[in-house]
Amino acid sequence: MDLHRSVAEPLNRATRPTISRSVTWVIVGFSLCFGTSLKGLIGDPRTYFMFSGVGGATHPALAPTIIVFAMFQLKFAVITPALITGSFAAMSKEGKKKTAKK
């Protein structure tokens, strides 16, 4: 395997899910989390659909501007699945080591 391929493959594996999560967050995710309440269960997806109404203005309940807050929350939306996947991989690796010792 050449060097270019060995470097490009992990970058592709990391970049594609990050882009898809980011686009999903912009289109509907922020609204589902922070939109006006629908029966107290979930946010209305139409509130901030496609980041409409998200800009440089501040919200009374939020200290920073809404866009800064949205990007801060996006950071967690992107990193959480990677952390969960990594923990499952570590647990399965540890389980294999324990069964090999027996």
69-86 average pLDDT score: 85
Q: Total domain count for the chain? A: 1
Max distance between CA atoms of the chain, in angstroms, equals: 61
pLDDT given for residue 99 in this prediction: 62
Return d(Cα 18, Cα 25) in angstroms, integer.
10
Tell me phi and psi for residue 43, to 5 degrees.
-80, 155
The pTM score is 0.64
Would you say 68 and 56 are in contact if contact means Cβ atoms under 8 Å apart?
Answer: no
Domain of 46? 3-101
Report pLDDT for 4.
61
Residue spans of alpha helices (H) in the chain: 3-24, 30-34, 66-101
Average pLDDT over residues 95-100: 64
**What is the predicted pLDDT for the residue at 43?**
92
- Is the pLDDT score of 102 beyond 60? no
Count of Cβ atoms closer than 10 Å to residue 14 Cβ: 11
Instruction: Answer yes or no: are the C-beta atoms of 67 and 54 closer than 8 Å.
Output: yes
pLDDT at residue 98 in the model: 64
Residue 53 CA from chain centroid, whole number: 21
pLDDT above 70: residue 50: yes
Instruction: Please say if the pLDDT value at position 3 is more than 90.
Output: no
